Amino acid sequence: MNRTEDRLTTVSEDRPVTLVDEHARAWSPQEARTRFRAGLTGPTAGVAAGHTQVNLISVPADWAYDMLLFCQRNPKPCPVLDVTDVGSPATVLAPGADLRTDLPRYRVWRDGELVDEPTDVRAHWRDDLVSFLIGCSFTFEWALTEAGVPVRHLEQGRNVPMYETSWQCRPAGRIHGPMVVSMRPVPPQHLSAAIRESSLLPAVHGGPVHCGDPSTLGIEDLGRPDFGDPVDLHPDDIPVFWGCGVTPQAAVMASRPPFALTHAPGQMFLTDARDQQYRVA
């Protein structure tokens, strides 16, 4: 059993539909959100190519300052792209969208425990919630692909593997917890390109936090991710780790706020923003 399985029980038994295909890549963000609102679920890597994807966490207003400070102190795993008004399900990143309905799947947390994984959280929504939209590394995968870097989970039609690490984030008020990382295997000849291209997008995690031996991060077995799916490494592949926007979910489990809503790992909110607008050069 891995580190989170004894604390985290998946409520939904269904396996998500794999959305990574040429049709999903060509969807507009609006079309993707319409499909998710109608009940389509699954990992969103490669969906609406060229548009920015974000993680979601919504907390009660009396926890919002602590969450904002936690993100500010831990920008690699938690780069904030937008914070909503209290009670509002709207974001400037996608005018007209609804954060309560327009993600493939959500997670509902009470006192740090996962209690539901619905496809619509209107029944759980509260008027005191503040939502944080946090950059997602799916956003820079277009840049990796254009630079010739293979993206194994896309090749294999899987969700990206994510791991809880032994590295603790800098705490903020009542919020604390470990950093979560996503992992992409990279052939040695493409490593410099992977580091360069992701570093040019700091708003969506930027460059890796570690390359190589996973034990440095306290990861015992790459074949048993805490979130997402395992991927097959090619013989010479180097495991490369980026900060991950699931980190706030690990913080929810560690800090146990009375209530929170999040995205399901790998099932992101599709914004209308273009990836290129977050590129620094």
Taking only the tens place, the pLDDT of each residue in 54-83 is: 999 999 999 999 999 999 999 999 999 999
Other CB atoms closer than 10 Å to residue 195's CB: what's the count? 17
Highest-pLDDT range among 3-7, 157-161, 245-249: 245-249
Contact 41, 17 (CB under 8 A): yes
Rounded-to-integer distance, Cα 159 and Cα 151, Å:
11
Residues near 208 by beta carbon (within 8 Å), at least 6 away in sequence: 194, 195, 198, 240, 241, 242
pTM of the predicted model as reported, rounded to 2 decimal places: 0.91
How many helices and strands in the chain, by DSSP H and E? 7, 11
Contact 227, 265 (CB under 8 A): yes
Q: How sure is the predictor about 22, in pLDDT bands with cuts at 50, 70 and 90?
A: low
- Distance in angstroms between the alpha carbons of the first and the last residue of the chain: 43
Contact 140, 198 (CB under 8 A): yes
Taking only the tens place, the pLDDT of each residue in 36-51 is: 999 999 999 889 988 9
Domains annotated on the chain, with CATH: 22-137+252-278 (3.40.1640.10), 140-243 (3.30.2040.10)
The DSSP bridge partners found for residue 178 are 168
Taking only the tens place, the pLDDT of each residue in 144-202 is: 999 999 999 999 989 999 999 999 999 999 999 999 999 999 999 999 999 999 999 99
At 176, is the secondary structure helix, strand, or coil?
Answer: coil
